[in-house]
Amino acid sequence: MTTSLTPDAATASLAGSAGARAVARATTGVADETTPDVEIVDVTKRFGAVTAVDRMRLSISRGEFYSLLGPSGCGKTTTLRMIAGFEQPTEGEIFLDGKPIAGIPPYRRNVNTVFQHYALFPHMDVARNVGYGLRQRKVAKVEEARRVGEALALVRLAGYERRRTWEMSGGQQQRVALARALVNHPTVLLLDEPLGALDLKLRKEMQLELKALQREVGITFVYVTHDQEEALTMSDVIVVMRDGRIQQQGDPTELYECPTNRFVADFLGSSNFIAATVEGVDASSRTATVRSDRGLVLRGTVTDPAAAIAAGDAVTVATRPERLEVRPDDGAAPGAAPGWTELAGRIRQGTYLGDHSEYRVVTDLAGELIVRRQNTVGAGSALGGGPGDPVVVRWHETANLILVG
Amino acid sequence: MATALTPTPARTGGGRAKSALLTGALLLPASIWYLFLLVLPMGFVVAFSFGEKARNGGYTPAFTLDNYGQVMKGADPFLESLKLATAGTFLTLLVALPLAYFLATRAGSRKGLFVLLLVIPFWTSFLIRTYSWLIVLGRGNLGGFIGGLLGDPNFRLLGTPGAILLGLVYGYLPLMIFPLYVTLERMDRSLIEASKDLGAGRWATFRQITLPIALPGLVTGSILVFIPMMGEYVIPQILGYGRTFLIGNALVLDFLEARNWPLGSAKAVVLIATMLITISVYVWFVNRGRQARGVGVLGARPP
């Protein structure tokens, strides 16, 4: 999958000049390397009675790719707009490069934004668009032309200087918007769902390219998206938000493998949830034994290190569909190996999805489970049969994630 | 495949003929209208302008350039009208631009109400609205009040170029506001944010982004206002007491009183030429450099 692809190929194909690299290094080397680029301290933003961002606390490290991920209305765009200066926090403080930025207008912040629909100036050609920020700072014409050329080379649009932006494809407009922001060497680059308007193939390509570009220039990226795959592909750190609050933050692997609550387990990828009650806790290994409402006993890992659980607590067991295995029921007695759970069930629905197939299996002890099966031998991987056929579902206890609440 | 495709070209051919017919039908009423009420009369005016005045007034066929010679000798009404229309257009723009900007960007949910308020005066006759200014500006009201402030008992507002200008701006304001409002309204608000994000302050953003993008509306509005102001007769007659001799006055004099149709026609032709030239120069000036980038005003492909 895209997550496992290394962006080396894209990096190599980027026409990144040595000059741009040197400038980028200079930009990142201004202050102490350990100061976070952006620090959001107890920020709340209210619009009338609506609280868009609720006591948010986030430290964004230098040179990293951060994604703010969440459904619409979760406060991610508001957070971005507060960093850019288009909105002022109702409470709390934002620090940029260690300095508080309350009251500083957007045009005096060393932050640039790539807007959702690019917001390219229609009455200017590509070069004038990209050079806009430099002209505001009275950069000499020759210098402007040089840096614009460099920025366009960086986004692989060398030679497009005189093009009209509205004659370009969505992907090209996207690159112009990127170049227009990067040419100013911002401390932080903010990206507001910039790939949303592109088609799927181009979007995937741009994801890898953006990540490679970010590594190349070394500028901190803060990327807002509602697309979990996009976040997984590009981010060093994903911050999952909901209702104005941070649900969890961590690198993609951590977030996917160890979601600490039900929302994250559901929003990032998909999960089977089984309601259960704690029977016993092993504090040293952070594991617990639980009994589902229908009497199924499971052992699993408690993902939230801060969670204090005891026998009798209500919890949710989450399992990823791809960790479950399914096979036709051959009538053999279900004698599970140690650590494995085996359940008999019946297929309710099987869906062939090209690279994998998805089965909804109804079991007596765990209700309906979604099982994903990679089609490694093509269509031959399919289970055959149809709805109502008896099957056996099994999974190892390492797949069980015990979520509090 | 082949059998399925065969009927298609025939159908397209029939469709094309039908579509041409429809195009003709759509254009017919307007074409007739323009032919008989614009092109033909214009032809008469041009033809008359080379003729001679009949003994009892009117027109006798001839070919002479005398009428044009006479127009050139008495160019004052043209200059007066040009001055007034230019000043009027400029003043209208000064009032309309901030208002249109406010309507497009800051009026919020009250937008509809404000637009309605702008339109309501149009439900009343133009003449009545102009006459009411007589009362407002008269000695008993604003005129007398300002005279009192200045300590000048002979101060008058009515009958001055100032009163004419005020009437012109009042009368033609909506024609300037609406095209401006529409272009500003259509403008993507994120462009302004992008400009600020890239380091431009309020004024720099207005100058470099808002104004250039509103330019097509500004040009349209200016032309819509300038043309009728050039030929304006009623407002200067009522609010200016007819004291300023404009091209409108000259035409009325020639056609209705002196009954010198050829001279009047020559003046009309010169008036039309003056306006065409003025507007062409204006559009050329605004378009310098823009056309090359494909973002020119009038006739350029829109972004």
State pLDDT tens for residues B174-185: 999 999 999 998
Interval B16-45 mean pLDDT: 91
- Give the separation between CA B176 and CA B95, rounded to whole angstroms: 9
Q: Residue B270's closest CA among B5, B112, B76?
A: B76
* Contact predicate B188/B218, CB 8 Å: no
A91-96 and A38-47 beta bridge pairing: antiparallel
* Local confidence band at A335 (pLDDT 50, 70, 90 cut-offs): low
**A136 interfacial to chain B (CB closer than 8 Å):** yes
How many residues are there in chain B? 303
Interval B164-172 mean pLDDT: 92
* Local confidence band at B294 (pLDDT 50, 70, 90 cut-offs): low
**How far, in Å, are B48, B94, B226 from residue B222 at the CA level?**
31, 11, 6
Find tokens 């053999």 and name the residue: A332
Closest CB from B195, B199, B213 relative to A122? B213
State pLDDT tens for residues B185-198: 888 889 999 999 99
DSSP string computed for A271-332:
-EEEEEEEEEEETTTTEEEEEETTS-EEEEEE--TT----TT-EEEEEE-GGG-EEEE--S-
The count of other CB atoms within 10 Å of the CB of residue B2 is 5
* Dihedral sign computed on CA atoms, order A194, A214, A245, A401: positive
* Local confidence band at A17 (pLDDT 50, 70, 90 cut-offs): very low
Closest CB from B198, B208, B293 relative to A112? B198
Min CA distance, A62 vs chain B (Å)?
Answer: 21
- Give the separation between CA A190 and CA A197, rounded to whole angstroms: 17
* Local confidence band at A208 (pLDDT 50, 70, 90 cut-offs): very high
Q: Is the pLDDT at A288 greater than 60, yes or no? A: yes
- Report pLDDT for B13: 57
- Report pLDDT for A80: 95
Nearest residue of chain A to residue B188 (CA atoms): A119
**A352 interfacial to chain B (CB closer than 8 Å):** no
* Dihedral sign computed on CA atoms, order B8, B14, B20, B25: negative
Residues of B in contact with A108 (CB under 8 A): 199
Task: Tell me if domain A2-110+186-257 and domain A271-405 are identical in fold.
Answer: no
Q: Which residues of B175-204 are buried (b: 16+ CB within 10 A; e: fewer)?
A: bbbbbbbbbbeebbebbbbbbbbbbbeeeb
Return mean pLDDT, chain A.
Answer: 86
**B213 interfacial to chain A (CB closer than 8 Å):** yes
Nearest residue of chain B to residue A123 (CA atoms): B295
- Report pLDDT for B46: 93
- Test the B interface: residue of A121, A139, A147 with most B CBs within 10 Å: A121
Angle between helix axes B126-137 and B161-186 (nearest 10 degrees) is 130
Interval B144-156 mean pLDDT: 80
State pLDDT tens for residues A167-188: 899 889 999 999 999 999 999 9
Q: Residue A224's closest CA among A189, A252, A253?
A: A189
Min CA distance, B110 vs chain A (Å)?
Answer: 19
Residue B201 backbone phi and psi in degrees, to 5: -75, -175
At CB < 8 A and 24+ separation, what contacts does B271-280 make? B271/B78, B271/B81, B271/B230, B271/B231, B271/B247, B274/B78, B274/B82, B274/B230, B275/B226, B275/B227, B275/B230, B278/B82, B278/B226, B279/B223, B279/B226, B279/B227
End-to-end Cα, chain B, rounded Å: 41
Q: Is the pLDDT at B7 greater than 50, yes or no? A: no
* Contact predicate A119/B190, CB 8 Å: yes
- Report pLDDT for A285: 83
Interval A31-47 mean pLDDT: 84
Q: Residue A90's closest CA among A74, A102, A105?
A: A102
User: A358 has which bridge partners?
Assistant: A351, A372
Min CA distance, B92 vs chain A (Å)?
Answer: 25
- Report pLDDT for A244: 94
User: A287 has which bridge partners?
Assistant: A282, A301
**B209 interfacial to chain A (CB closer than 8 Å):** yes
Q: Is the pLDDT at B290 greater than 70, yes or no? A: no
- Report pLDDT for A286: 86
Which residues are CB-neighbours of B215 under 8 A, at least 6 positions away? Answer: B183, B286, B290, B297
Residues 165-204 of A with CB under 8 A from B: 165-167, 180-181, 184
Q: Is the pLDDT at B112 greater than 90, yes or no? A: no
- Give the separation between CA A266 and CA A259, rounded to whole angstroms: 9
Interface pTM, i.e. ipTM: 0.80
More confidently predicted of B158 and A331: B158
State pLDDT tens for residues A109-168: 999 999 998 999 998 999 999 999 999 999 999 999 999 999 999 999 999 999 988 889
Q: Is the pLDDT at A319 greater than 90, yes or no? A: yes
The count of other CB atoms within 10 Å of the CB of residue B51 is 21
Domains for chain B: give ranges and CATH numbers.
Answer: 76-124+158-270 (1.10.3720.10)
The count of CB pairs under 8 A between chains A and B is 73
- Report pLDDT for B289: 61
**B211 interfacial to chain A (CB closer than 8 Å):** no
Min CA distance, A388 vs chain B (Å)?
Answer: 43
Q: Residue A125's closest CA among A180, A170, A202?
A: A180
State pLDDT tens for residues A344-376: 899 998 888 888 899 999 998 888 999 999 888
- Give the separation between CA B220 and CA B218, rounded to whole angstroms: 6
**A161 interfacial to chain B (CB closer than 8 Å):** no
Q: Is the pLDDT at B235 greater than 80, yes or no? A: yes
Confirm or reject CATH 3.30.450.20 for domain A271-405, answering yes or no: no
- Test the A interface: residue of B187, B198, B215 with most A CBs within 10 Å: B198
Our separate counts of H helices and E strands in chain A read 11, 20
Q: Is the pLDDT at A7 greater than 80, yes or no? A: no
Q: Is the pLDDT at A55 greater than 50, yes or no? A: yes
**How far, in Å, are A216, B102, B222 from residue A220 at the CA level?**
11, 37, 48
Amino acid identity, position A379: A
State pLDDT tens for residues B199-219: 999 999 999 999 998 888 898
Interval B265-284 mean pLDDT: 89
Q: Do A136 and B200 touch (CB under 8 A)?
A: yes
* Domain A2-110+186-257 CATH superfamily: P-loop containing nucleotide triphosphate hydrolases (3.40.50.300)
Q: Is B272 helix (H, G, I), strand (E, B) or coil?
A: helix
Min CA distance, A57 vs chain B (Å)?
Answer: 24
Sequence spans of domains, chain A: 2-110+186-257, 271-405
The tokens for B189 are 């608000």
Q: Which of A201-205, A216-220, A274-278, B297-301 has the lowest mean pLDDT?
A: B297-301
- Report pLDDT for B295: 56
Residues 270-299 of B with CB under 8 A from A: 290, 293-295
* Contact predicate A206/A171, CB 8 Å: yes
Q: Is A346 helix (H, G, I), strand (E, B) or coil?
A: strand
Q: Is B185 helix (H, G, I), strand (E, B) or coil?
A: helix
